[in-house]
């Protein structure tokens, strides 16, 4: 399911919530000299309007599905999914929710059929899809169901001269905090850790990954005096996997797991819930962090931010995370050429 050497990888880019910053970020991405055939999945007229908000001139053509060998900065092809009603920047409209969902279905199905080599997603407004009557908690869960796959959400920053890369995987994703302890069990944690371990080996080229596992309770339960999930669930899961040869550290108190002394000891961290670890990444590297879904039968990456409704239509939104997501997707496509930019 990869592009022949002479052709560019076909990278599907879903435009996200029409009233958010997604379409503008897609327009900015198209200006980059990425070695990819960029296929926006969204409304072509809206993409033109988004480019105008950013003061950009885009050359937008229909996607005919043919593979191409070259793309110039400023060129993008579109798989057109018309909006139900024109977007009002900053004011999502539930009437457009099904258009958004259709773009995601097209991207997932296209990746599985070989129409696309990977998908990069711009942010959606989860609440407006729910307001339209559709159960939806995120791309991660949507793509997992579509592909019938067990997946793990990981957010990863590249790191740089002054800071090592940070990769945070989540045992649970978009559920109420009250439901988190009941969602954790030994089988589930073992499965998630296996997916993370395999992805670190296969996709990140780390031969013997070291994974830090966070506790759930303050101070990782303080020996059972502040909660028992560490003793009853997390440690037994880790023990099973250690016997299978995995290098696991923990259960670690979440408040100190990310201090400088700990960082070089782990290639990734498994957090028990969404807000336990994502604020660390988002405050450290909001511009360069990428969200990726491990365990899918295709490559899916995304931005680390949301729809930023207050910026929509201003042309001011920062495209760095979407660009980083596109670059990572290109690196992860088997046999794809390395991005040059
Ligand atoms: N990948 C996704 O689809 C995704 C990811 C996160 C949040 N969301 C959704 O987005 C909606 C809004 O979420 P939120 O308000 O918590 O987070 P947000 O990321 O939209 O905004 C948080 C802050 O960061 C700023 N910001 C975000 N992206 C920016 C960018 N590219 N350039 C400059 N500033 C930027 C915003 O202006 C705001 O001040 C929610 O519905 C949430 O579920 C979607
Ligand atoms: N959890 C993600 C974040 O905080 O950035 C975000 O909500 C997007 O999740 P999906 O990729 O599942 O839509």
Ligand nearest to the CA of 139: 2
Q: pLDDT, tens digit, for every residue of 167-192?
A: 999 999 999 999 999 999 999 999 99
How far does the centroid of ligand 2 lie from the alpha carbon of residue 4, in Å? Answer: 32
Please give the pLDDT value at position 184. Answer: 98
Please give the pLDDT value at position 337. Answer: 39
How far does the centroid of ligand 2 lie from the alpha carbon of residue 141, in Å? Answer: 10
| CB 174 near ligand 1, within 6 Å | no
Ligand nearest to the CA of 123: 1
**155 Cα nearest atom in ligand 2:** 5
Classify 190 as helix, strand or coil.
helix
- The pLDDT of residue 4 is above 60: no
Please give the pLDDT value at position 228. Answer: 97
Indicate the burial class of 139 (C-beta count within 10 angstroms; 0-12, 13-18, 19 or more). Answer: buried
Burial 114-135, CB ≥16 within 10 A → b, else e: ebbbbbbbbbbbbebbeebeee
**Contacts for 7 with CB less than 8 Å, ≥ 6 apart:** 37, 67, 68, 69
- Confidence class for position 1, pLDDT limits 50, 70, 90: very low
Report phi then psi at 126, rounded to 5.
Answer: -55, -40
331 annotated ligand binder:
no
How far does the centroid of ligand 2 lie from the alpha carbon of residue 138, in Å? Answer: 6
Q: What mean pLDDT do residues 86-90 have?
A: 96
Using CA positions, which residue lies closest to atom 17 of ligand 1? 306
Q: pLDDT, tens digit, for every residue of 211-245?
A: 999 999 999 999 999 999 999 999 999 999 999 99
Please give the pLDDT value at position 5. Answer: 54
- The DSSP bridge pattern shows strands 290-294 and 299-302 to be antiparallel
| CB 303 near ligand 1, within 6 Å | yes
- The pLDDT of residue 336 is above 70: no
**Whole-model pTM?**
0.95
- The pLDDT of residue 146 is above 60: yes
Helix, strand, coil shares of the chain, percent, nearest 5, are 40, 20, 45
Tokens of 254: 């979440």
How far does the centroid of ligand 1 lie from the alpha carbon of residue 307, in Å? Answer: 5
| CB 304 near ligand 2, within 6 Å | yes
Q: What mean pLDDT do residues 94-119 have?
A: 98
Ligand nearest to the CA of 287: 1
341 annotated ligand binder:
no
| CB 78 near ligand 2, within 6 Å | no
| CB 305 near ligand 1, within 6 Å | yes
- Confidence class for position 341, pLDDT limits 50, 70, 90: very low
Please give the pLDDT value at position 160. Answer: 77
Q: Please tell me which residue, 159 or 237, carries the higher pLDDT value.
A: 237
User: What domains, with CATH codes, occur in the chain?
Assistant: 1-148+297-340 (3.40.718.10), 150-295 (3.40.718.10)
**124 Cα nearest atom in ligand 2:** 13
| ipTM over the 0.90 cut-off | yes
Q: pLDDT, tens digit, for every residue of 13-32?
A: 999 999 999 999 999 999 99
Distances (CA, A) of 253 to 110, 205, 215, 273: 41, 28, 6, 13
Q: pLDDT, tens digit, for every residue of 30-72?
A: 999 999 999 999 999 999 999 999 999 999 999 999 999 999 9
How far does the centroid of ligand 1 lie from the alpha carbon of residue 136, in Å? Answer: 17
Q: pLDDT, tens digit, for every residue of 259-282?
A: 999 999 999 999 999 999 999 999
Using CA positions, which residue lies closest to atom 5 of ligand 1? 306
């Amino acid at each position: 399911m990869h592009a022949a050497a002479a052709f560019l990888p076909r990278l599907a880019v879903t435009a996200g919530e029409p009233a958010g910053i997604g379409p503008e970020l897609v327009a900015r991405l198209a200006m980059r000299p990425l070695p990819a055939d960029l296929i926006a999945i969204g409304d072509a007229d809206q993409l033109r309007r988004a480019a105008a908000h950013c003061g950009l001139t885009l050359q937008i053509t229909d996607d005919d599905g043919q593979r191409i060998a070259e793309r110039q900065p400023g060129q993008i092809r579109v798989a057109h999914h018309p909006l139900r009603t024109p977007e009002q920047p900053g004011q999502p409209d539930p009437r457009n929710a099904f258009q958004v969902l259709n773009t995601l279905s097209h991207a997932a199905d296209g990746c599985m059929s070989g129409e696309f080599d990977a998908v990069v997603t711009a942010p959606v407004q989860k609440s407006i899809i729910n307001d339209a009557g559709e159960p939806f908690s995120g791309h991660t869960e949507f793509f997992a169901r579509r592909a019938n796959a067990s997946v793990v959400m990981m957010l990863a920053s590249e790191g740089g001269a002054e800071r090592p890369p940070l990769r945070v995987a989540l045992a649970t994703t978009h559920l109420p905090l009250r439901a988190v302890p009941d969602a954790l069990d030994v089988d589930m944690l073992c499965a998630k850790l296996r997916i993370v371990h395999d992805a670190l080996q296969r996709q990140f080229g780390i031969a013997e990954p070291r994974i830090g596992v966070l506790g759930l309770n303050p101070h990782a339960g303080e020996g059972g005096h502040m909660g028992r999930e560490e003793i009853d669930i997390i440690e037994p899961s880790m023990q099973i996997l250690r016997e299978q040869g995995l290098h696991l550290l923990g259960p670690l108190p979440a408040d100190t797991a990310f201090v400088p002394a700990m960082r070089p000891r782990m290639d990734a961290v498994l957090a028990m819930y969404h807000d336990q670890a994502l604020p660390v990444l988002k405050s450290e590297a909001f511009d360069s962090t990428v969200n990726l879904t491990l365990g899918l039968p295709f490559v899916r990456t995304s931005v680390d931010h949301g729809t930023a409704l207050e910026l929509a239509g201003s042309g001011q939104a920062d495209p760095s995370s979407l660009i980083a997501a596109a670059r990572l997707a290109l690196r992860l496509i088997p046999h794809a050429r390395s991005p040059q930019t």
